[in-house]
Amino acid sequence: MMLQMLHDSKNWPLKRMIISNRMQPLMLLIPPGDYECFAEDFKEIHISSNIAWDNKHSAGDSLNDLCYFMAYSYASALNGELSYGALSWIKKRVNELTAADLELLSVKSVWLGFFDEGLPITKPQTITVSVTMETGRVLTASYKITGK
């Protein structure tokens, strides 16, 4: 949801590409057509909160080891690595991401999530997400959680 806010911003350039599927099973899953991915690959993602989450995560510290990044990427298909579909699914903690995980991400499929038990995600706070693009440009968005 937080990266969805960034995606909705007019600061995010898109690039369009055409994927032509020659294999019948692929055509059923993802028909040929225009697909959008970010014009620049992500280089780095940083997530933080303005409150302390625990003894290891003070206010302002990175939450990358607690947050999952999920997205679809076209990179494998365009590199000829996938024979069964045009998209590869990435689900990793943010601190485990590699440069290859952040290439040619589908515009409509980038999510962040906190799934571990006992995390204070419902407490009043502001979560900040910063994404460094391959050009060095940094895009930042904050998401205010009012709490329960």
pLDDT tens, position by position, 48-87: 999 999 999 999 999 999 999 998 887 777 666 655 556 7
Rounded to a whole number, what is the distance in angstroms from the first to the last CA of the chain? 18
Instruction: Say how many domains are in the chain.
Output: 1
Please state the φ and ψ torsions of residue 108, each to the nearest 5 degrees. -95, 10
Positive or negative torsion for Cα 72, 111, 49, 132: positive
CB 42 within 8 A of CB 132: yes
| pTM: predicted TM-score of the whole model, two decimal places | 0.71
pLDDT in the model for residue 13: 43
Q: 44 - beta bridge partners?
A: 132
Hey, how many other C-beta atoms are within 10 angstroms of the C-beta on 92? 13
Residue pointed to by tokens 């999920």: 70
State the residue range of the domain holding 8. Answer: 2-145
Mean pLDDT by 10 residues, the chain (148 residues): 41 40 35 61 92 95 94 76 69 92 80 87 92 90 85
Mean pLDDT of the chain, nearest integer? 75
